[in-house]
Chains A and B, each alone.
Chain A
């Protein structure tokens, strides 16, 4: 067998004893239905997100496309028209810009313009880059060309086959199809080698008179950095215009806008959301990663939680699903509440009959979803009020969402400040505020009615006042009171004195008081804590753990920890540390050789003498074994450490190895 180069595999007819479990049982049985529900829910969400995201940069896209059209209609200089797009850190956002442009063009034109995207991965030299540029340009059969044409690489030109990096190919193609512009988009400008990029630009600049090029550079740093890297001759070929994309924060806000207003059946809880936001701000700035993470949250909610089936329909729930529902934390609290309210019959019904449980569940879930929707509209009302008030910054949707979902917004300083400011508003701001609230139409009917009434009263008061240029002031406004200090028996007393207020001012103050009361009660009613809603586990997904493990693994830490304390992973009796000691790693001969060597490695300095290491290793492993066997273990362990990148050979001293990695970084 060892010397044979190949052998014929002859399977025996006996089927293997272990079979795959194809049919799912228990809570997993509903997985298919939940997957359908997920697809439906996410598609709606994705559509909403896409819509918002494409509208963010719509202005820039149309600017860029106008710039390109202008370059077609008035080709003025020998320089190549160049759009420099400040795209920011994440590259993905740009690719969508170019594809948005291309889609827009192909929709409303007859394909006289083609888009070629180049990234640095396409080639490390000029030849390869030109080759892929030409291939990509020719492969796109734009417009209404029929399929029966020759393959696009063979143009009508007969004669010698040109080399595949010869721009003459592209030239012939352009002439044949009467193209007006070839837009070359450099996706990751910074990643190109500077010399290569300059050379490519110069090369295309040579052909600019014959092939109408236009460039789009996507840069993540600054334009000066790009300029530093290009050769002077290359810069002379470019005639640039700068375009700016929306920063990544705005894109996150847009995604939140979509999440909050799409009326999706599922909500993401505060802890998972804050993890996502934190990661977004700390590390990544591409919005696609964020959307993916949200999508993953949707998936894990639907796939792993059997009770999410109730989101779709709670009819025909299997028994085990009902049992799962009864075990929910929030259902128990709900049952307790029913018990306290002496609704024993209903409670009994819920506990015994699956049907009535399903009915109650769907009712409560719908109610909970409605409450959360109300909360979201309360958040947008809050933002609207902040917009109207002067000297008040509008809080971002994301932070409001996280605060509201964790139930901390009600009674927060933010809300108190807001209501206090409302009590001090001058009348012209109040009118604007009331009009904005009424126009938004997001309050409940009662509050809406009160607001309308207040606006009427306010207009009456405003009509009756003496000096129409001066706005009415509130009694609570600091401008209307003065502080007085009086010294009584060697103590300073502070006393507030209200300035004399007119009758209109007093009436206005009352209006303001009622307004703030209405708003306060409105916010109190709508800003519920989602944790208090019955069955909130079903429609609010709030688990940290899969996200952490999936999106933020720690490979280096895992390897280091496994090597430092192998017992935790092997769970064998032989290496168990003594009870008396703390769980610090101890060396023992029974541990894997690599782990022993790693712990010795941790104790040494940056240069390790191989012979010393061997002696220490031998002392740990013990004398009872054969030396040659120990040596084999040692060599293998050392090779593994080298493979993992912990040590390397050094030229400083021949018999030493250099320590490359330190622990805990």
Chain B
């Protein structure tokens, strides 16, 4: 079948959604306003393959009455049901008010929909991302897929990412697969609208008019996209959105030499070599809350300093988490000070430097182990250079550190109750070796002397 057999409106859709011809044909067959439709349709495929957009524009184009529900916005299963009724009601009657029914469960949904859709003709109900629904009841999906069996003229379209086999407990439901875009397809889609090379028009005496600019950027952009795909995106940003984002992020630094006038617009290969550093830097793939460019140099990325005893507490907690409990007597008792200091000189039993038979992982690379609060307090007393009068402030300090997730409750039953005697704690994931080392340095404390190998 060639393109000439397609109806007119499908052709416009194809222009809007390139590389999706097969899926459009399937959809137009199952969701046609004239032909009979199956009672349920599953549209599936990975992230950013145009599922939602194509279903939406196809339905809008085909003049079929429909309702569209984004399941990500529904907080509970009941929320989804109530929403469905409201949206269907709105779509059928075109009036947002005057409906006053609750909809607690699927049975109520069936009744409501039956009443609403009775004799109204063909209707499509699209549930977008229904597999990502929060707190769904186990029967929700199969029940939704059977809605069309109970209510004539209703077609339920389920848009999911990865349908597990038999997830609807039903066979014979047509599935439409949206395959991920290949390299050529991605580049083709991206090159539909190329961004400008020159933001400000170049000086008039260069005789560089808008037409040439259009031509140049349409020439340069696809080549650039291909380079980005080959270097970065094919491994780490395969989906279209991520790929597009990376391309747009790199575009302005990439064309900067052209704007400066170092290269011509068609010197792609020389430009690529000159700018190869851009394609090697993988930090562009990472997202961040605060974009690195927007960060003024005088603002610290690190937060404010902690109070004095909070620092000591964190150092003690780190030691308690990463030292085995049985070595505490060796490391923290004042009497064993001399034995411990064997690191530099070595004593008689230091073993001549032969590597041990079983290799051990460095402790700081392993997960933090849990400790009791009393152990933390005794280590704190042992490492403090002066005497400590434990007041209520110390317990407040522990509570504050816990609320900052620098200390976390962990391990054992009943760990959610902070007043449980002998409750266990551990340092939070943010308290890493480097962080603690920096803290210890600010306290003038040699952490390494107290840390078991």
Give A contacts to B, CB under 8 Å.
Answer: 82, 84, 86-89, 120, 126-127, 130, 157-160, 162-163, 165-167, 188, 190-191, 202-203, 206-207, 219-230, 232, 235-236, 238-245, 247-248, 279, 281-285, 552-557, 642, 645-648, 658, 660-662, 665
Which of B101, B304, B422 touches A285 (beta carbons < 8 Å)?
B304
Residue contact B134 to A223, C-beta cutoff 8 Å? no
Q: With A159-B97, A223-B290 given, is the CB distance from A665 to B378 under 8 Å?
A: yes
Residue contact B307 to A283, C-beta cutoff 8 Å? yes
Residue contact A281 to B421, C-beta cutoff 8 Å? no
Which of A87, A163, A228, A645 touches B419 (beta carbons < 8 Å)?
A645
For chain B residues 342-388, which have a beta carbon within 8 Å of chain A? 372, 374, 377-378, 381
Residue contact A235 to B389, C-beta cutoff 8 Å? no
Residue contact A88 to B404, C-beta cutoff 8 Å? no
For A219, the chain B residues whose CB sits under 8 A away are 303
Known: A236-B287, A285-B307. 11 other contacts (CB 8 A): A84-B290, A89-B306, A159-B96, A166-B75, A227-B289, A229-B405, A244-B300, A247-B305, A283-B310, A284-B307, A552-B389
Residue contact A221 to B404, C-beta cutoff 8 Å? yes
Residue contact B393 to A222, C-beta cutoff 8 Å? no
Nearest 7 CB-CB pairs, A to B? Answer: A88-B304, A645-B421, A240-B290, A552-B391, A665-B377, A283-B393, A240-B289
For the complex, give the distance between the alpha carbons of A248 and B308 in Å.
13
A151 to chain B, nearest CB (A): 19
B404 nearest CB neighbor, chain A only: A190
Residue contact A191 to B403, C-beta cutoff 8 Å? yes
Residue contact B404 to A220, C-beta cutoff 8 Å? yes
Q: Does B442 contact A (CB under 8 A)?
A: no
Residue contact A220 to B381, C-beta cutoff 8 Å? no
For chain B residues 264-317, which have a beta carbon within 8 Å of chain A? 287-291, 294-296, 299-310
Residue contact A242 to B75, C-beta cutoff 8 Å? no
A192 nearest CB neighbor, chain B only: B405
A554 nearest CB neighbor, chain B only: B391
Number of cross-chain contacts by CB at 8 Å: 173
A347 to chain B, nearest CB (A): 45
B393 nearest CB neighbor, chain A only: A283
Residue contact B396 to A165, C-beta cutoff 8 Å? no
For A556, the chain B residues whose CB sits under 8 A away are 390
| Category for how many chain B residues contact A | 35 or more
Q: Does B430 contact A (CB under 8 A)?
A: yes
Which of A158, A229, A232 touches B98 (beta carbons < 8 Å)?
A158
For B328, the chain A residues whose CB sits under 8 A away are none
Residue contact A166 to B79, C-beta cutoff 8 Å? yes
Q: Does B72 contact A (CB under 8 A)?
A: yes
A567 to chain B, nearest CB (A): 24
Residue contact B430 to A228, C-beta cutoff 8 Å? yes
Q: With A127-B76, A221-B303 given, is the CB distance from A557 to B390 under 8 Å?
A: yes
Q: What are 9 A-B pairs at a CB distance below 8 A?
A: A87-B304, A163-B79, A207-B73, A227-B288, A236-B287, A240-B288, A240-B289, A282-B393, A554-B389
For the complex, give the distance between the alpha carbons of A208 and B441 in Å.
44
Q: With A206-B70, A221-B406 given, is the CB distance from A163 to B390 under 8 Å?
A: no
Residue contact B381 to A206, C-beta cutoff 8 Å? no
Residue contact B392 to A552, C-beta cutoff 8 Å? yes
Q: Does B400 contact A (CB under 8 A)?
A: yes
Q: With A160-B99, A283-B307 given, is the CB distance from A221 to B389 under 8 Å?
A: no
For the complex, give the distance between the alpha carbons of A139 and B397 in Å.
35
Q: With A191-B404, A206-B72, A665-B390 given, is the CB distance from A89 to B301 under 8 Å?
A: no
Q: Does B163 contact A (CB under 8 A)?
A: no
For A222, the chain B residues whose CB sits under 8 A away are 301-303
Q: Does B429 contact A (CB under 8 A)?
A: yes
For A157, the chain B residues whose CB sits under 8 A away are 96-97
User: Which of A166, A202, A555 gathers most chain B CB within 10 Å?
Assistant: A166
Which of A190, A206, A225, A281 touches B308 (beta carbons < 8 Å)?
A281
Q: With A89-B310, A221-B430, A660-B372 given, is the CB distance from A165 to B79 under 8 Å?
A: yes
B376 nearest CB neighbor, chain A only: A665
Residue contact A160 to B404, C-beta cutoff 8 Å? no
Q: With A130-B75, A166-B79 given, is the CB distance from A159 to B291 under 8 Å?
A: no
For the complex, give the distance between the alpha carbons of A470 and B400 in Å.
58
For B99, the chain A residues whose CB sits under 8 A away are 159-160
For A126, the chain B residues whose CB sits under 8 A away are 75, 134
A204 to chain B, nearest CB (A): 10
Residue contact B392 to A240, C-beta cutoff 8 Å? no
Q: Does B102 contact A (CB under 8 A)?
A: yes
Residue contact B72 to A240, C-beta cutoff 8 Å? no
Residue contact A242 to B403, C-beta cutoff 8 Å? no
Q: Does B156 contact A (CB under 8 A)?
A: no
Which of B70, B101, B308, B377 touches A282 (beta carbons < 8 Å)?
B308
Residue contact B430 to A225, C-beta cutoff 8 Å? yes
Q: With A163-B78, A221-B430, A281-B308 given, is the CB distance from A82 to B289 under 8 Å?
A: yes
For A188, the chain B residues whose CB sits under 8 A away are 403
Q: Does B12 contact A (CB under 8 A)?
A: no
For the complex, give the distance between the alpha carbons of A188 and B378 in Å.
30
Residue contact B96 to A281, C-beta cutoff 8 Å? no
For chain B residues 392-435, which have a beta carbon within 8 Å of chain A? 392-394, 396-397, 400, 403-406, 419, 421-422, 429-430
For B100, the chain A residues whose CB sits under 8 A away are 159-160
A533 to chain B, nearest CB (A): 33
For the complex, give the distance between the alpha carbons of A127 and B99 in Å.
24
For the complex, give the distance between the alpha carbons of A236 and B286 in Å.
10
For the complex, give the distance between the alpha carbons of A203 and B73 in Å.
6
Which of A86, A552, A660 touches B421 (beta carbons < 8 Å)?
A660
Residue contact A159 to B98, C-beta cutoff 8 Å? yes
Residue contact B307 to A223, C-beta cutoff 8 Å? no
B77 to chain A, nearest CB (A): 11
Residue contact A89 to B289, C-beta cutoff 8 Å? no
Q: With A222-B303, A555-B392 given, is the CB distance from A191 to B405 under 8 Å?
A: yes
For A226, the chain B residues whose CB sits under 8 A away are 289
Q: Does B131 contact A (CB under 8 A)?
A: no
Q: Does B239 contact A (CB under 8 A)?
A: no
For B419, the chain A residues whose CB sits under 8 A away are 645
For B305, the chain A residues whose CB sits under 8 A away are 247
For B102, the chain A residues whose CB sits under 8 A away are 160
For A223, the chain B residues whose CB sits under 8 A away are 289-290, 301, 303
